[in-house]
Structure 1
Amino acid sequence: MNGSHASKVIYRKPTIEDGQGIWKLVKRAGGLDVNSAYCYLMLCDMFSETCCIAEQDGRMCGFLSAFRKPEQPDTLFVWQIAVDPVRRGNGIGSLLLKEVISRNSNDTIHYIEATISPGNMASRSLFVSMARELESECKISERYEASMFPEAHETELMFRIGPIAMDN
């Protein structure tokens, strides 16, 4: 392959073998809370239906962690979206989310939620544009005040997209 043409990005479910690579990606991506490596192993093992990895040329370049809310199984809560800094601006974050919500196992998801700090313009933009693309509403409300965190942290706003109807 010619060096000027990047290969296709592949989107797939994570496996527990991906846990270490995800931890490294989140750390490399910056701007996100880096959870324990054990947390990423558990996400891959127990929540693979609602998580997604992006790979290009055999290298992990994106990860989305999400889960169905236990009290609201029609709601997907997006915990983190990490994209390798050298791959940003190529729509990987939105394609990770689209991959998860388009899976047959997730066809009863009608809402997507995430908490986003006011300073995280990339995530804010992603959620607002995703709502527009899904022809749905995006409601924003306060969720976790800065004073709730034990260390310095911005207030987290809840972004709620829905209802959505996906054609699988």
Structure 2
Amino acid sequence: MSPEQVRRPPPRASVVDIGFGPPRLEDGRHLWRVARDSGTLDLNSPYSYVLWCRDFAATSVVARAEDEVCGFITGFSRPEDPGTLFVWQVAVDADWRGRGLARRMLDHLADSGARFVEATVTPGNTASDRLFASFARARGASLRRTPLLSADLFPGDHDPEVLYRIGPLDS
């Protein structure tokens, strides 16, 4: 089945039917499709998503329903701070939104031993702000927001990026 022909979930599908695990090499094209269809993420090349599935599978997660990708989080351990998981992208297929998948994927990743979680969020991205605030509250961890990347660092029309740092997390 091509990424364009992903079967849609039944209307009452439960999050119980969804499994979480590391991405596989062949998932790269599906990650690219979900990111593209989000309409909000900066879209990377298909090549980068395939390589991400190879090189950063241990710090990323895919949500699957009947072996179909319905969401993902890509992340990596910061080279200068290996105890910090940096969340690169969070995406949930439109038909699977509103089921708590992003939060469950973030919990899945954090349970693998990170002491801190970082991400950058553009001002006005309420979905990401709510996700990370909810995660911090549930973990009893502090959430610090600090300006990180100003808009003038990016080509074209790009909002600034605010660093969200959550932790320390219980191990």
Alpha-carbon offset, residue 4 of structure 1: 5.6
Aligned residue in 2 for 1:6: 13
Counterpart pick for 1:65 among 70, 74, 87: 74
Residue 34 of structure 1: aligned partner = 43
Structure 2: distance between partners of 1:116 and 1:36? 21
Amino acid at match of 1:125: R
Task: Provide the residue aligned with 2:34 in structure 1.
Answer: 25
SS at match of 2:48: helix
Question: How many Å apart are 1:71 and its aligned residue?
Answer: 0.3
Q: How does 1:114-129 map to 2 (within 5 A)?
A: 114-129=119-134
- CA–CA separation in structure 2 for the residues paired with 1:5 and 1:73: 40
TM superposition score normalised by structure 1 = 0.91
1:66 deviates by: 0.2
Q: Residue 129 of structure 2 aligns to which amino acid in structure 1? A: R
- Equivalent-residue separation in structure 2 for 1:48 and 1:20 (angstroms): 14
2:4 corresponding residue in structure 1: none
The one-letter code matched in structure 2 to 1:11 is: F
2:99 equivalent to 1:90: yes
The CA deviation string for residues 109-139 of structure 1, in whole angstroms up to 9 with x for no partner, is 2100000001110000000110000101000
User: Quick one: distance in 1 between partners of 2:141 and 2:11?
Assistant: 38
Percent identical: 38
Distance of 1:153 and 1:86 partners within structure 2: 27
- Give the Cα separation in 2 of the matches to 1:76 and 1:32: 19
The root-mean-square deviation of aligned C-alpha atoms, in Å, is 1.2
One-letter amino acid matched to 2:88: W
Counterparts of 1:92 and 1:68 in 2: how far apart (Å)?
22
Q: Is there any run of 5+ residues in structure 2 with no aligned partner, and where?
A: 1-9
Secondary structure, in 3 states, of the residue corresponding to 2:108? helix
* Deviation, structure 1 residue 29: 1.6
Aligned to 1:148: 153
Supply the AA of the counterpart residue of 1:128. A
- Segments of 5+ residues of structure 1 without an aligned counterpart are none
Shift in Å, 1:151: 1.0
Query: CA shift at 1:85, angstroms?
Result: 1.3
1:57 deviates by 3.3
Structure 2 letter corresponding to 1:136: A
Q: CA deviation at 1:42?
A: 1.2
Task: Describe the shift of the 1:125–1:83 C-alpha distance in structure 2 as closer, same or farther (beyond 3 A).
Answer: same
**Equivalent residue, structure 2, for 1:157:** 162
Counterparts of 2:103 and 2:77 in 1: how far apart (Å)?
18
C-alpha displacement at 1:34, in angstroms? Answer: 0.6
